[in-house]
Protein backbone atom coordinates (compact mmCIF):
# COMPACT_ATOMS: atom_id res chain seq x y z
CA UNK A 1 0.00 0.00 0.00
CA UNK A 2 1.39 3.38 -1.09
CA UNK A 3 0.30 6.96 -0.58
CA UNK A 4 1.57 10.36 -1.64
CA UNK A 5 2.00 13.30 0.61
CA UNK A 6 -0.55 16.04 0.10
CA UNK A 7 0.55 19.16 -1.81
CA UNK A 8 -0.14 22.38 0.05
CA UNK A 9 -2.76 24.68 -1.47
CA UNK A 10 -0.74 27.88 -1.05
CA UNK A 11 1.82 27.13 -3.81
CA UNK A 12 2.41 30.11 -5.96
CA UNK A 13 1.65 29.29 -9.57
CA UNK A 14 4.24 31.82 -10.68
CA UNK A 15 7.02 29.68 -9.24
CA UNK A 16 6.91 26.56 -11.30
CA UNK A 17 10.36 25.50 -10.33
CA UNK A 18 9.37 25.27 -6.74
CA UNK A 19 6.25 23.38 -7.56
CA UNK A 20 8.05 21.00 -9.81
CA UNK A 21 10.73 20.38 -7.33
CA UNK A 22 8.30 18.83 -4.90
CA UNK A 23 9.23 15.22 -4.36
CA UNK A 24 6.78 12.41 -3.84
CA UNK A 25 7.66 10.15 -0.91
CA UNK A 26 6.22 6.72 -0.61
CA UNK A 27 5.32 5.42 2.83
CA UNK A 28 6.38 1.96 1.79
CA UNK A 29 9.91 3.32 1.45
CA UNK A 30 9.95 4.45 5.07
CA UNK A 31 8.54 1.29 6.57
CA UNK A 32 11.06 -1.44 7.17
CA UNK A 33 10.09 -4.78 5.74
CA UNK A 34 10.29 -7.77 8.06
CA UNK A 35 13.29 -9.90 7.43
CA UNK A 36 12.56 -13.24 5.93
CA UNK A 37 13.86 -16.37 7.55
CA UNK A 38 16.24 -18.38 5.45
CA UNK A 39 14.50 -21.25 3.91
CA UNK A 40 15.77 -24.78 4.09
CA UNK A 41 17.22 -25.79 0.73
CA UNK A 42 15.02 -28.07 -1.26
CA UNK A 43 15.92 -31.68 -1.42
CA UNK A 44 17.31 -32.82 -4.71
CA UNK A 45 14.76 -34.71 -6.74
CA UNK A 46 15.17 -38.42 -7.13
CA UNK A 47 15.64 -40.00 -10.47
CA UNK A 48 12.33 -40.22 -12.24
CA UNK A 49 11.11 -36.82 -11.07
CA UNK A 50 9.92 -37.93 -7.68
CA UNK A 51 11.22 -36.55 -4.38
CA UNK A 52 13.35 -38.80 -2.32
CA UNK A 53 11.39 -40.49 0.48
CA UNK A 54 12.23 -39.74 4.05
CA UNK A 55 14.50 -42.13 5.78
CA UNK A 56 12.96 -43.97 8.66
CA UNK A 57 14.78 -43.72 11.90
CA UNK A 58 16.10 -46.97 13.00
CA UNK A 59 14.61 -48.08 16.29
CA UNK A 60 17.01 -48.40 19.12
CA UNK A 61 18.07 -51.89 19.70
CA UNK A 62 16.37 -53.33 22.80
CA UNK A 63 18.65 -53.67 25.78
CA UNK A 64 18.93 -57.20 27.00
CA UNK A 65 17.84 -57.14 30.66
CA UNK A 66 19.53 -60.39 31.25
CA UNK A 67 18.12 -63.34 33.11
CA UNK A 68 15.61 -62.54 35.90
CA UNK A 69 16.90 -62.73 39.46
CA UNK A 70 16.30 -66.06 41.11
CA UNK A 71 13.19 -66.29 43.22
CA UNK A 72 13.64 -67.05 46.90
CA UNK A 73 13.04 -70.57 47.87
CA UNK A 74 10.26 -71.69 50.19
CA UNK A 75 12.72 -72.18 52.99
CA UNK A 76 14.05 -68.63 52.66
CA UNK A 77 10.51 -67.20 52.64
CA UNK A 78 9.57 -69.26 55.68
CA UNK A 79 12.74 -68.15 57.49
CA UNK A 80 12.05 -64.44 56.80
CA UNK A 81 8.43 -64.76 57.91
CA UNK A 82 9.43 -66.61 61.05
CA UNK A 83 12.02 -63.94 61.90
CA UNK A 84 9.32 -61.22 61.70
CA UNK A 85 6.93 -63.04 64.01
CA UNK A 86 6.96 -61.81 67.60
CA UNK A 87 5.88 -64.55 69.95
CA UNK A 88 4.26 -63.17 73.13
CA UNK A 89 5.24 -64.75 76.42
CA UNK A 90 3.13 -67.62 77.59
CA UNK A 91 0.79 -66.97 80.51
CA UNK A 92 1.62 -68.81 83.72
CA UNK A 93 0.02 -72.22 83.89
CA UNK A 94 -1.52 -73.74 87.01
CA UNK A 95 0.89 -75.86 89.01
CA UNK A 96 -1.33 -78.88 89.64
CA UNK A 97 -3.27 -79.26 86.38
CA UNK A 98 -0.43 -80.17 83.97
CA UNK A 99 1.01 -83.12 85.95
CA UNK A 100 -2.45 -84.63 86.37
CA UNK A 101 -3.18 -84.26 82.67
CA UNK A 102 0.21 -85.58 81.54
CA UNK A 103 0.19 -88.67 83.76
CA UNK A 104 -2.54 -90.56 81.82
CA UNK A 105 -0.88 -89.72 78.53
CA UNK A 106 2.45 -91.24 79.60
CA UNK A 107 0.79 -94.34 80.89
CA UNK A 108 -1.24 -94.67 77.73
CA UNK A 109 1.82 -94.36 75.55
CA UNK A 110 3.78 -96.77 77.67
CA UNK A 111 0.94 -99.25 77.42
CA UNK A 112 0.77 -98.82 73.65
CA UNK A 113 4.49 -99.48 73.19
CA UNK A 114 4.42 -103.06 74.56
CA UNK A 115 1.44 -103.74 72.34
CA UNK A 116 3.52 -102.90 69.31
CA UNK A 117 6.38 -105.01 70.60
CA UNK A 118 4.06 -107.95 71.15
CA UNK A 119 2.84 -107.70 67.58
CA UNK A 120 6.37 -108.05 66.26
CA UNK A 121 6.87 -111.70 67.28
CA UNK A 122 3.53 -112.57 65.70
CA UNK A 123 4.69 -111.20 62.37
CA UNK A 124 7.97 -113.01 62.80
CA UNK A 125 6.17 -116.27 63.47
CA UNK A 126 4.02 -115.92 60.37
CA UNK A 127 6.85 -114.87 58.09
CA UNK A 128 9.55 -117.22 59.44
CA UNK A 129 8.53 -120.32 57.47
CA UNK A 130 8.20 -118.43 54.19
CA UNK A 131 11.23 -116.15 54.28
CA UNK A 132 14.39 -116.92 56.18
CA UNK A 133 15.32 -113.26 56.56
CA UNK A 134 13.37 -111.76 59.44
CA UNK A 135 15.47 -108.61 59.62
CA UNK A 136 12.45 -106.45 58.77
CA UNK A 137 10.93 -107.05 62.19
CA UNK A 138 12.54 -103.99 63.87
CA UNK A 139 10.69 -101.70 61.41
CA UNK A 140 7.83 -100.80 63.83
CA UNK A 141 10.42 -99.45 66.29
CA UNK A 142 10.90 -95.96 64.65
CA UNK A 143 7.37 -94.76 65.49
CA UNK A 144 8.16 -95.14 69.18
CA UNK A 145 10.66 -92.23 69.48
CA UNK A 146 8.31 -89.61 67.96
CA UNK A 147 5.58 -90.71 70.36
CA UNK A 148 7.80 -90.55 73.39
CA UNK A 149 9.35 -87.17 72.51
CA UNK A 150 6.21 -85.03 72.87
CA UNK A 151 5.31 -86.88 76.02
CA UNK A 152 8.64 -86.20 77.71
CA UNK A 153 9.01 -82.59 76.45
CA UNK A 154 6.04 -80.84 78.13
CA UNK A 155 6.99 -81.45 81.79
CA UNK A 156 10.22 -79.43 81.43
CA UNK A 157 8.54 -76.18 80.25
CA UNK A 158 5.86 -76.57 82.89
CA UNK A 159 8.47 -76.66 85.62
CA UNK A 160 10.25 -73.65 84.12
CA UNK A 161 6.99 -71.67 83.98
CA UNK A 162 6.04 -72.58 87.50
CA UNK A 163 9.45 -71.50 88.70
CA UNK A 164 9.17 -68.23 86.76
CA UNK A 165 5.82 -67.32 88.32
CA UNK A 166 7.31 -65.58 91.38
CA UNK A 167 9.40 -63.40 89.05
CA UNK A 168 6.27 -62.36 87.11
CA UNK A 169 4.46 -61.52 90.30
CA UNK A 170 7.35 -59.39 91.48
CA UNK A 171 7.62 -57.47 88.20
CA UNK A 172 6.34 -53.88 88.15
CA UNK A 173 3.87 -54.74 85.38
CA UNK A 174 2.12 -57.38 87.43
CA UNK A 175 -1.51 -56.62 88.38
CA UNK A 176 -1.90 -54.84 91.69
CA UNK A 177 -3.68 -56.87 94.35
CA UNK A 178 -5.71 -54.45 96.46
CA UNK A 179 -6.30 -55.54 100.05
CA UNK A 180 -9.83 -55.42 101.40
CA UNK A 181 -9.25 -55.91 105.10
CA UNK A 182 -11.22 -52.84 106.05
CA UNK A 183 -14.19 -53.94 103.96
CA UNK A 184 -14.14 -57.36 105.61
CA UNK A 185 -14.04 -55.73 109.02
CA UNK A 186 -17.03 -53.50 108.16
CA UNK A 187 -15.09 -50.23 108.07
CA UNK A 188 -15.82 -47.98 105.12
CA UNK A 189 -13.31 -45.28 106.08
CA UNK A 190 -10.38 -45.13 108.51
CA UNK A 191 -8.19 -42.08 109.25
CA UNK A 192 -5.13 -42.39 111.48
CA UNK A 193 -3.06 -39.38 112.50
CA UNK A 194 -4.00 -37.31 109.46
CA UNK A 195 -2.31 -33.90 109.50
CA UNK A 196 -2.32 -31.01 107.05
CA UNK A 197 -0.58 -27.64 107.33
CA UNK A 198 -0.81 -24.48 105.25
CA UNK A 199 2.28 -22.53 106.18
CA UNK A 200 2.18 -22.04 109.95
CA UNK A 201 -1.54 -22.88 110.18
CA UNK A 202 -2.55 -26.37 111.32
CA UNK A 203 -5.72 -26.93 109.32
CA UNK A 204 -5.94 -30.57 110.45
CA UNK A 205 -3.93 -31.74 113.43
CA UNK A 206 -3.74 -35.52 113.94
CA UNK A 207 -7.33 -36.58 113.24
CA UNK A 208 -8.39 -40.17 113.97
CA UNK A 209 -11.75 -41.29 112.57
CA UNK A 210 -13.41 -44.65 111.94
CA UNK A 211 -16.56 -44.69 109.81
CA UNK A 212 -18.40 -48.04 109.83
CA UNK A 213 -19.95 -49.25 106.60
CA UNK A 214 -23.64 -48.54 106.13
CA UNK A 215 -23.72 -45.42 108.33
CA UNK A 216 -24.71 -41.79 107.91
CA UNK A 217 -21.69 -39.98 109.35
CA UNK A 218 -21.71 -36.24 110.08
CA UNK A 219 -18.81 -33.82 110.52
CA UNK A 220 -19.76 -30.63 112.35
CA UNK A 221 -17.65 -27.72 113.48
CA UNK A 222 -17.33 -23.94 113.26
CA UNK A 223 -16.06 -22.15 110.18
CA UNK A 224 -12.37 -22.78 109.66
CA UNK A 225 -12.35 -25.87 111.88
CA UNK A 226 -10.89 -28.12 109.12
CA UNK A 227 -13.97 -29.95 107.85
CA UNK A 228 -13.48 -29.15 104.17
CA UNK A 229 -9.75 -29.89 104.38
CA UNK A 230 -10.48 -33.28 105.96
CA UNK A 231 -13.04 -34.21 103.30
CA UNK A 232 -10.69 -33.03 100.54
CA UNK A 233 -7.94 -35.33 101.81
CA UNK A 234 -10.40 -38.23 101.99
CA UNK A 235 -11.48 -37.58 98.38
CA UNK A 236 -7.88 -37.38 97.17
CA UNK A 237 -8.05 -33.68 96.28
CA UNK A 238 -5.38 -32.88 98.88
CA UNK A 239 -2.42 -34.93 100.05
CA UNK A 240 -1.95 -35.19 103.81
CA UNK A 241 1.39 -34.24 105.33
CA UNK A 242 1.24 -37.19 107.72
CA UNK A 243 -1.10 -40.04 108.52
CA UNK A 244 -2.93 -42.75 106.58
CA UNK A 245 -6.34 -42.92 104.94
CA UNK A 246 -8.03 -46.20 104.01
CA UNK A 247 -11.20 -46.50 101.95
CA UNK A 248 -12.86 -49.89 102.35
CA UNK A 249 -9.46 -51.32 103.30
CA UNK A 250 -7.62 -49.72 100.34
CA UNK A 251 -4.68 -47.49 101.23
CA UNK A 252 -5.40 -44.20 99.46
CA UNK A 253 -1.71 -43.27 99.32
CA UNK A 254 -0.49 -46.61 97.89
CA UNK A 255 -3.46 -47.21 95.54
CA UNK A 256 -5.08 -43.84 94.85
CA UNK A 257 -6.97 -44.91 91.73
CA UNK A 258 -8.44 -47.97 93.40
CA UNK A 259 -9.54 -45.85 96.37
CA UNK A 260 -11.13 -43.17 94.16
CA UNK A 261 -13.14 -45.76 92.25
CA UNK A 262 -14.94 -46.59 95.49
CA UNK A 263 -16.00 -42.99 96.17
CA UNK A 264 -18.40 -40.38 94.87
CA UNK A 265 -17.46 -36.79 95.72
CA UNK A 266 -19.49 -33.58 96.02
CA UNK A 267 -16.95 -30.80 96.67
CA UNK A 268 -17.67 -27.59 98.53
CA UNK A 269 -16.64 -25.17 95.80
CA UNK A 270 -18.62 -26.42 92.83
CA UNK A 271 -16.28 -26.45 89.85
CA UNK A 272 -17.69 -28.18 86.81
CA UNK A 273 -18.03 -27.92 83.05
CA UNK A 274 -20.92 -25.47 83.13
CA UNK A 275 -21.04 -25.00 79.34
CA UNK A 276 -22.36 -28.53 78.95
CA UNK A 277 -26.00 -29.36 79.32
CA UNK A 278 -27.15 -31.36 82.31
CA UNK A 279 -27.48 -34.50 80.21
CA UNK A 280 -24.01 -34.07 78.70
CA UNK A 281 -22.49 -33.49 82.14
CA UNK A 282 -24.00 -36.67 83.59
CA UNK A 283 -22.93 -38.60 80.48
CA UNK A 284 -19.39 -37.32 80.94
CA UNK A 285 -19.38 -38.39 84.60
CA UNK A 286 -20.60 -41.88 83.74
CA UNK A 287 -18.19 -42.50 80.85
CA UNK A 288 -15.32 -41.11 82.92
CA UNK A 289 -16.12 -43.76 85.52
CA UNK A 290 -15.92 -46.50 82.87
CA UNK A 291 -19.65 -47.21 82.44
CA UNK A 292 -21.02 -48.31 79.04
CA UNK A 293 -22.94 -45.56 77.21
CA UNK A 294 -26.22 -47.49 77.37
CA UNK A 295 -25.91 -47.83 81.16
CA UNK A 296 -25.10 -44.14 81.48
CA UNK A 297 -28.21 -43.16 79.52
CA UNK A 298 -30.41 -45.40 81.65
CA UNK A 299 -28.99 -44.14 84.95
CA UNK A 300 -29.16 -40.51 83.78
CA UNK A 301 -32.89 -40.93 83.19
CA UNK A 302 -33.38 -42.51 86.63
CA UNK A 303 -31.36 -39.86 88.46
CA UNK A 304 -33.07 -37.01 86.60
CA UNK A 305 -36.45 -38.37 87.63
CA UNK A 306 -35.35 -38.87 91.25
CA UNK A 307 -33.85 -35.37 91.57
CA UNK A 308 -36.63 -33.70 89.55
CA UNK A 309 -34.27 -32.61 86.75
CA UNK A 310 -36.09 -33.90 83.66
CA UNK A 311 -36.88 -30.47 82.25
CA UNK A 312 -33.43 -29.07 83.10
CA UNK A 313 -31.31 -31.74 81.40
CA UNK A 314 -31.48 -29.98 78.04
CA UNK A 315 -30.34 -26.60 79.42
CA UNK A 316 -26.79 -25.41 79.95
CA UNK A 317 -25.47 -25.96 83.46
CA UNK A 318 -24.40 -22.31 83.62
CA UNK A 319 -28.12 -21.40 83.65
CA UNK A 320 -28.84 -23.57 86.71
CA UNK A 321 -29.60 -22.10 90.09
CA UNK A 322 -27.39 -22.95 93.07
CA UNK A 323 -29.82 -25.63 94.24
CA UNK A 324 -30.14 -27.24 90.80
CA UNK A 325 -26.38 -27.22 90.40
CA UNK A 326 -26.05 -28.98 93.75
CA UNK A 327 -28.54 -31.64 92.66
CA UNK A 328 -26.94 -32.36 89.28
CA UNK A 329 -23.50 -32.58 90.92
CA UNK A 330 -24.85 -35.01 93.51
CA UNK A 331 -26.41 -37.08 90.72
CA UNK A 332 -23.00 -37.18 89.01
CA UNK A 333 -21.38 -38.36 92.24
CA UNK A 334 -23.85 -41.25 92.49
CA UNK A 335 -24.03 -42.36 88.85
CA UNK A 336 -21.41 -45.13 89.23
CA UNK A 337 -22.97 -46.50 92.47
CA UNK A 338 -19.98 -45.95 94.79
CA UNK A 339 -19.52 -47.53 98.21
CA UNK A 340 -18.74 -44.21 99.90
CA UNK A 341 -20.20 -40.74 99.30
CA UNK A 342 -18.11 -37.76 100.44
CA UNK A 343 -20.42 -34.73 100.54
CA UNK A 344 -19.32 -31.25 101.60
CA UNK A 345 -22.34 -29.10 102.54
CA UNK A 346 -24.85 -31.00 100.35
CA UNK A 347 -27.86 -29.07 101.70
CA UNK A 348 -26.44 -25.58 101.36
CA UNK A 349 -28.56 -23.29 99.13
CA UNK A 350 -31.12 -26.08 98.61
CA UNK A 351 -34.84 -25.44 99.14
CA UNK A 352 -36.77 -27.56 101.68
CA UNK A 353 -38.47 -29.64 98.99
CA UNK A 354 -35.18 -30.51 97.29
CA UNK A 355 -33.60 -31.20 100.70
CA UNK A 356 -36.33 -33.70 101.47
CA UNK A 357 -35.78 -35.41 98.10
CA UNK A 358 -32.02 -35.61 98.64
CA UNK A 359 -32.52 -37.00 102.16
CA UNK A 360 -34.85 -39.72 100.88
CA UNK A 361 -32.35 -40.75 98.21
CA UNK A 362 -29.40 -40.80 100.63
CA UNK A 363 -31.40 -42.68 103.30
CA UNK A 364 -32.31 -45.41 100.79
CA UNK A 365 -28.67 -45.54 99.69
CA UNK A 366 -27.48 -46.07 103.28
CA UNK A 367 -30.22 -48.62 103.98
CA UNK A 368 -28.85 -50.80 101.16
CA UNK A 369 -25.28 -50.78 102.51
CA UNK A 370 -23.85 -47.50 101.25
CA UNK A 371 -21.91 -45.09 103.47
CA UNK A 372 -22.27 -41.31 103.57
CA UNK A 373 -19.93 -38.86 105.28
CA UNK A 374 -21.00 -35.23 105.08
CA UNK A 375 -20.31 -31.87 106.64
CA UNK A 376 -23.07 -29.50 107.63
CA UNK A 377 -23.86 -26.54 109.84
CA UNK A 378 -27.44 -27.61 110.33
CA UNK A 379 -27.35 -29.25 113.75
CA UNK A 380 -31.01 -30.17 113.62
CA UNK A 381 -30.57 -31.94 110.29
CA UNK A 382 -27.47 -33.81 111.48
CA UNK A 383 -29.20 -34.82 114.71
CA UNK A 384 -32.20 -36.13 112.80
CA UNK A 385 -30.41 -37.96 109.99
CA UNK A 386 -26.92 -39.05 111.07
CA UNK A 387 -26.18 -42.18 113.09
CA UNK A 388 -22.69 -41.06 114.12
CA UNK A 389 -21.13 -37.61 114.41
CA UNK A 390 -17.73 -36.02 115.05
CA UNK A 391 -17.20 -32.47 116.33
CA UNK A 392 -14.06 -30.84 114.90
CA UNK A 393 -12.69 -27.63 116.40
CA UNK A 394 -9.35 -26.06 115.38
CA UNK A 395 -8.36 -29.12 113.37
CA UNK A 396 -8.91 -31.62 116.20
CA UNK A 397 -11.71 -34.04 117.01
CA UNK A 398 -13.16 -33.06 120.38
CA UNK A 399 -16.07 -35.53 120.43
CA UNK A 400 -16.91 -38.59 118.33
CA UNK A 401 -19.49 -41.36 118.55
CA UNK A 402 -23.20 -41.88 118.10
CA UNK A 403 -25.43 -38.84 118.25
CA UNK A 404 -26.67 -39.81 121.71
CA UNK A 405 -23.13 -40.30 123.01
CA UNK A 406 -21.95 -36.92 121.73
CA UNK A 407 -24.88 -34.74 122.84
CA UNK A 408 -25.46 -36.39 126.21
CA UNK A 409 -28.32 -34.63 128.03
CA UNK A 410 -28.12 -31.57 125.78
CA UNK A 411 -29.16 -31.01 122.23
CA UNK A 412 -26.53 -31.45 119.58
CA UNK A 413 -26.50 -27.70 118.96
CA UNK A 414 -25.96 -26.92 122.65
CA UNK A 415 -23.22 -29.49 122.86
CA UNK A 416 -21.61 -28.07 119.74
CA UNK A 417 -21.65 -24.53 121.15
CA UNK A 418 -20.14 -25.80 124.38
CA UNK A 419 -17.31 -27.62 122.60
CA UNK A 420 -16.69 -24.70 120.24
CA UNK A 421 -15.98 -22.36 123.16
CA UNK A 422 -19.35 -20.81 123.81
CA UNK A 423 -20.78 -17.62 122.47
CA UNK A 424 -18.49 -14.67 121.76
CA UNK A 425 -18.61 -11.48 123.81
CA UNK A 426 -21.07 -9.01 122.31
CA UNK A 427 -20.25 -6.15 124.60
CA UNK A 428 -19.01 -2.90 123.11
CA UNK A 429 -21.65 -2.71 120.43
CA UNK A 430 -23.87 -0.16 122.12
CA UNK A 431 -23.37 2.17 119.17
CA UNK A 432 -25.35 -0.28 117.07
CA UNK A 433 -28.45 0.61 119.10
CA UNK A 434 -28.36 4.23 117.93
CA UNK A 435 -29.50 4.43 114.36
CA UNK A 436 -27.93 6.87 111.93
CA UNK A 437 -29.96 9.38 109.93
Which pLDDT score, from 0 to 100, does residue 59 have? 59
- In this prediction, residues 264-272 reach a mean pLDDT of 83
Which pLDDT score, from 0 to 100, does residue 343 have? 93
More confident residue, 122 or 58: 58
Q: Is the pLDDT of residue 182 over 50?
A: no
Which pLDDT score, from 0 to 100, does residue 158 have? 39
Which pLDDT score, from 0 to 100, does residue 129 have? 42
1-15 pLDDT tens trace: 555 555 555 555 555
Which pLDDT score, from 0 to 100, does residue 430 have? 75
**What band does 55 get if pLDDT is binned at 50, 70 and 90?**
low
- In this prediction, residues 333-354 reach a mean pLDDT of 90
Least confident of 104-113, 252-261, 338-347: 104-113
Residue 414: CB atoms within 10 A of its CB come to: 13
Which pLDDT score, from 0 to 100, does residue 341 have? 95
83-134 pLDDT tens trace: 777 666 666 655 554 444 444 444 444 444 444 444 444 444 444 444 444 4
Q: Is the pLDDT of residue 51 over 60?
A: no
Average pLDDT of the residues of the chain: 74
Which pLDDT score, from 0 to 100, does residue 330 have? 92
Greatest mean pLDDT range, 57-66, 83-92, 130-139, 386-395: 386-395
Amino acid sequence: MTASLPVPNDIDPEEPDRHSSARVVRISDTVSQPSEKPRRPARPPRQGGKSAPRKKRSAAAPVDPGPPPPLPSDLEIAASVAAAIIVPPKPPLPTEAPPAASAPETTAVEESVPAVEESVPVEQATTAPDAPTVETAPAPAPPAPPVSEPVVAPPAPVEAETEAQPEDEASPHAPVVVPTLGAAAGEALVLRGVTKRFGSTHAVDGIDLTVPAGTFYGLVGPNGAGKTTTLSMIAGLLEPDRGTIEVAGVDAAAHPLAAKKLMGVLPDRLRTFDRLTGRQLLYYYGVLRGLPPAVVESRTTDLARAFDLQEALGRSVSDYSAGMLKKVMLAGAMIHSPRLLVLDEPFEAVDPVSSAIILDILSAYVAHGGTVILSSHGMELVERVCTRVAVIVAGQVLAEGTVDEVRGELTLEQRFVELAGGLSDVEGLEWLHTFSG
